Structure 1
């Protein structure tokens, strides 16, 4: 059976002849044949060659190997990596394929114990693969929500041997292994006086000072040092300086985004690096099409943190390519993309269409934070998207208890601002009223006022809450530590009071005191009223100035005693009519 298996495994080798193999099997002992075949396979399979001098794991559990007939070591219970069908041909690099299969197997493991068991059954690993295993352990623990490695992992013999190896042999590690090991340890809290960490940081600093590290290694090292030491270290400044000296054409897309993340961590020094940032912004236009959803979200987040408002061409192109990634963004990534577009004021109808499809299909499973950000985006850009608004209303009716007060406010405001009632409006506002009644004291005063004001704009008058918000206690809370209530809040209170007078004559509760009422809804940040037609307003204003002699003698948007706002006086309208009549006479009309 061993002879048949040997023949099957060697069938595809170009320098092996079946007839020769059969003859050899007949004329030589099995051990001699195995030795001869191993010599033939050494150029093809590096794992069969004599191992270079490496530091081995010094624990018994690291030496559990499984060997078939004493040769070709491979993990117990795992597929043999060097089978003939796993190789495409002699033109491929067997070493790189071995590494690919190692990382593929490593990434399939979902617990640190499985990773340690896996690497414990292998031969002594090259330092780059050992660093990859250490990184996978830290990634798994970070994913599980741990801030430090569990005690069981720290006391594991394989893990201790792995750490001892990196601690004692840091000067002989390759650049890739060194920065990967440091990156792994930076993911979780490690005591700052750890000998392993101190040795790796010292060796990294030495290599940066010496120069010669590749771009990828510099980027990984920079982000690791930020997590471990903060953005103020001298080594980080030297890394940024060395990266500035590299040609951006040599940077991979992930390196460009890593560079943005490094500069984002040093946002307080953005003025010092603005010239370099301008170069990166210009070059990044050429790599946008190659960015993954994660990288795209991270780039937009960094542009916001660095306040790169002059990089609008880059933002516009990112918005163009973000359309195809919307179904593939995670909830957090989509939220950050929307926040960036809100910050830069970007709006794209193709992006909106794709967002409509995504939200309408997945709204019931979207995170409340994402839903509130989507609605804030629609409200800020005045996008009345019925598919989005209807889906959000349906989600809120079914999952209102999951939304925080701020999220409820951000979700509700666009309905009032854009004057839209969804099909399930009665159920939506009944659910909102029940939520406010049950959690009234948990809502900040300004947040509560925004919600009620939004409801009144679409004729869902919050009569049951007016007595509470007109009370001196609520007004004192609304004022807070300031000397007076801000003008926007006063305008909203006044509109709610006028609503109770004009639209709800049956309301006989507490009234808003005159000192809290405003005479105009013009506010420094915005106006609570629908803007008038500019051309009409301009004609009236010119006529009033001509009639009265100066702008100071009249006012617009003034509240009348009857609680209505007038845009201009009758005299102004009359004068405007006279001016238009004169123009008609001149034209002979």
Structure 2
């Protein structure tokens, strides 16, 4: 293995050889070294400031060194490294140094200065460790808010020794060292034309064409080139082609996840790579148990980006192992996991239980984005988790100032969708009202409409804001530059208008204009009603025929003048006779049967969704006798005779003398 010598008397080093130790620069003056280094390093790191300006680092002077014992040299006025004596064993024989111990030390350092201090005490350094040191310097050396390395790091002679060596003789580096050094540079803004970068890329491409790069190096190279050159990089296709020829059994779990990350950048070529993806998806089932929380979230994200809906067995297994990692996910990772589960429609009671424990224990300290993601997951999967909803409601009341308008909407909407009021509902909606009064204009129009509509579903009517949302100015904002308003917004406006008439008769303000309404809440998409379950409807219909004697005595899927669609309508005259469905005269009472299948309830519960609750509430206010036929009651019936008796009790319990 090649070695890089990093003596403490770096001011005496004239050139750096990767074969063995770095020779001491006894024949060149100090300023010659700095001049050479300056020529190599100046074009490196790009400034993040606007415009084409690039930072160039010039060494105006050279530090003076003195020797205390004739051998150990250090800069005048700078402290001698206190670790020197502690690490003498490493200096004497680095070849025997345990590589894992080296990387453990390296990963414990939190600043570039610590890394440079450590490696400056070593007599020589294998090129793989030198590349790892360079990578760690780039990882921890950036200041907060600044992607560039500080000037004092760039001018550090040890750092310069590392960089010049990698630039001058990349052909002598091992594959691992070569791609690791290139990977380190991708952590910073780098001038694409810098000598170091060009040399490393050129050497990588030569080895790629020769087919001399192993799997891990291919994966690292691909990700590095993606960061440097983007998905249009021509070399990427060659790398993927070589990876396809390798046996997946020889890949480490980290390399498999790297494959996913690489392929997700090529979404336009997903069909071309689908056969390869199918192999990866199948093989990945065997490595899920060894994936870290970070890798699990990355695989799930890639599956979403690549639209791998056929990989549900992998998604399910990833979900199974995600359960035990919930406390260990970062906020960002947990958000990606939830996004993936929403996308694939995955839910698991063990995952929900673990999520409940996590949210309840940490909700007050969780990032607002994660809180909104958790609520989005509960809402989209119709999960009525009272522990989560209660904890989130408490967190919002305590820390409402932390939430953005979009996050507030994502947080509140599930309460309406799931038809649930938390114990602190009065405080929750009082806080929401205060925010809306203060920051009404900060909410995007569609976000505000969804938020207020969600409140109306659970009878927390936004009376104080109805005049604003029905105003021509707001409706114009809502429509924006489009020629017409989207159907969901029209339906929400229409239902809010109906709510103001039926449930808020004291509201005397403006109502929406006639053109801002729908004819039916039941539409193929963006519906405010859930279509009737066909199998359940078929069973009930057969029972009604037996009960009433003929199909003519009830109507199906009746659109009312009030935009709602009734599953089954039965008409009665004043004496209690059942009228044919075609009769419109002498109708004294209308019975609305709500045949509620599982999709009209929260997941695995008997709790109606908000949109179904408001529908039944409004139908009652409109004069209908609402009769609910839930699926869980029908499922308990053993025979058709029991079904007829059940319908008799449900329909005519209030009018036992009914006749037909």
Task: Please confirm whether the aligned pair reaches a TM-score higher than 0.5, indicating the same fold.
Answer: yes
Aligned to 2:446: 446
Residues 1:260 and 1:116: Cα distance change in structure 2 (over 3 Å): same
Aligned to 2:20: 53
Within 5 Å, give how 1:178-257 maps onto structure 2. Answer: 178-257=178-257
In the aligned structure 2, how far is the partner of 1:285 from the partner of 1:96?
39
Residues 1:329 and 1:68: Cα distance change in structure 2 (over 3 Å): farther
Aligned to 1:27: none
For the 8 Å contact 1:62–1:121, the answer to whether it is kept is no
Within 5 Å, give how 1:569-588 maps onto structure 2. Answer: 569-570=569-570, 574=579
Aligned to 2:558: 556
In the aligned structure 1, how far is the partner of 2:64 from the partner of 2:522?
75
Aligned to 1:115: 115
Residues 1:307 and 1:535: Cα distance change in structure 2 (over 3 Å): closer
Residue 65 of structure 1: how far off its partner (Å): 11
Residues 1:532 and 1:265: Cα distance change in structure 2 (over 3 Å): closer
Residues 1:359 and 1:306: Cα distance change in structure 2 (over 3 Å): same
Within 5 Å, give how 1:300-319 maps onto structure 2. Answer: 300-319=300-319
Residue 126 of structure 1: how far off its partner (Å): 1.6
Is the strand fraction higher in 1 or 2? 2
In the aligned structure 2, how far is the partner of 1:269 from the partner of 1:332?
27
Moved more, 382-391 or 104-113: 104-113
Residues 1:507 and 1:280: Cα distance change in structure 2 (over 3 Å): same
In the aligned structure 2, how far is the partner of 1:457 from the partner of 1:106?
56
DSSP 3-state at the match of 2:558: coil
Residues 1:142 and 1:355: Cα distance change in structure 2 (over 3 Å): farther
In the aligned structure 1, how far is the partner of 2:254 from the partner of 2:68?
39
Moved more, 147-156 or 391-400: 147-156
Moved more, 563-572 or 312-321: 563-572
Residue 266 of structure 1: how far off its partner (Å): 1.4
Residue 141 of structure 1: how far off its partner (Å): 3.3
Residues 1:166 and 1:94: Cα distance change in structure 2 (over 3 Å): closer
Within 5 Å, give how 1:426-505 maps onto structure 2. Answer: 426-505=426-505
Please, what is the CA RMSD of the aligned residues? 3.3
Moved more, 59-68 or 522-531: 59-68
Residues 1:574 and 1:534: Cα distance change in structure 2 (over 3 Å): farther
Residue 106 of structure 1: how far off its partner (Å): 1.7
Query: In the TM superposition, what whole-angstrom CA distance separates every residue of 1:394-421 from its partner, at most 9, and x where no partner exists?
Result: 1111111211222111111110011001
In the aligned structure 1, how far is the partner of 2:423 from the partner of 2:216?
53
Aligned to 1:287: 287
Unaligned 5+ segments in structure 2 are: 1-17, 26-32, 34-61, 73-79, 573-577, 582-590, 592-639, 646-660
In the aligned structure 2, how far is the partner of 1:186 from the partner of 1:403?
34
> 1:338 and 2:338 equivalent?
yes
DSSP 3-state at the match of 1:324: helix
Residues 1:301 and 1:105: Cα distance change in structure 2 (over 3 Å): same
Aligned to 2:152: 152
In the aligned structure 2, how far is the partner of 1:56 from the partner of 1:266?
46
For the 8 Å contact 2:94–2:123, the answer to whether it is kept is no
Residue 438 of structure 1: how far off its partner (Å): 1.2
TM-score scaled to structure 1, two decimals? 0.81
> 1:347 and 2:358 equivalent?
no
In the aligned structure 1, how far is the partner of 2:306 from the partner of 2:250?
23
Unaligned 5+ segments in structure 1 are: 1-50, 85-92
Aligned to 1:320: 320
Within 5 Å, give how 1:414-429 maps onto structure 2. Answer: 414-429=414-429
In the aligned structure 2, how far is the partner of 1:437 from the partner of 1:65?
72
For the 8 Å contact 1:487–1:523, the answer to whether it is kept is no
Query: In the TM superposition, what whole-angstrom CA distance separates every residue of 1:157-214 from its partner, at most 9, and x where no partner exists?
Result: 2222211111111111111110110000011111011000000000000111111211
Aligned to 2:519: 519
In the aligned structure 2, how far is the partner of 1:278 from the partner of 1:108?
39
In the aligned structure 1, how far is the partner of 2:225 from the partner of 2:258?
13
For the 8 Å contact 2:409–2:447, the answer to whether it is kept is yes
DSSP 3-state at the match of 1:311: helix
DSSP 3-state at the match of 1:515: coil
> 1:77 and 2:44 equivalent?
no
For the 8 Å contact 1:62–1:120, the answer to whether it is kept is no
In the aligned structure 2, how far is the partner of 1:342 from the partner of 1:242?
34
DSSP 3-state at the match of 2:309: coil
DSSP 3-state at the match of 2:141: helix
Moved more, 497-506 or 216-225: 497-506
In the aligned structure 1, how far is the partner of 2:99 from the partner of 2:87?
10
State how many pairs are aligned: 516
Query: In the TM superposition, what whole-angstrom CA distance separates every residue of 1:302-327 from its partner, at most 9, and x where no partner exists?
Result: 11111101101100110111111111
For the 8 Å contact 1:521–1:528, the answer to whether it is kept is yes
For the 8 Å contact 1:148–1:190, the answer to whether it is kept is no
Aligned to 1:400: 400
Residues 1:115 and 1:570: Cα distance change in structure 2 (over 3 Å): same
In the aligned structure 2, how far is the partner of 1:317 from the partner of 1:289?
9
Residues 1:274 and 1:535: Cα distance change in structure 2 (over 3 Å): closer
In the aligned structure 2, how far is the partner of 1:137 from the partner of 1:247?
34
For the 8 Å contact 1:559–1:566, the answer to whether it is kept is no
Higher relative contact order (CA 8 A, sep 6+): 2
Residues 1:52 and 1:238: Cα distance change in structure 2 (over 3 Å): closer
In the aligned structure 1, how far is the partner of 2:492 from the partner of 2:462?
13
In the aligned structure 1, how far is the partner of 2:89 from the partner of 2:155?
35
For the 8 Å contact 1:300–1:337, the answer to whether it is kept is yes
In the aligned structure 2, how far is the partner of 1:75 from the partner of 1:64?
15
TM-score scaled to structure 2, two decimals? 0.72
In the aligned structure 1, how far is the partner of 2:115 from the partner of 2:67?
15
DSSP 3-state at the match of 1:77: coil
Aligned to 2:172: 172
DSSP 3-state at the match of 1:203: helix
In the aligned structure 1, how far is the partner of 2:363 from the partner of 2:257?
30
In the aligned structure 2, how far is the partner of 1:108 from the partner of 1:78?
18
In the aligned structure 2, how far is the partner of 1:184 from the partner of 1:65?
34
Residues 1:281 and 1:180: Cα distance change in structure 2 (over 3 Å): same
Query: In the TM superposition, what whole-angstrom CA distance separates every residue of 1:204-242 from its partner, at most 9, and x where no partner exists?
Result: 001111112111111111111110111222222111111
Residue 574 of structure 1: how far off its partner (Å): 4.8
In the aligned structure 2, how far is the partner of 1:278 from the partner of 1:110?
40
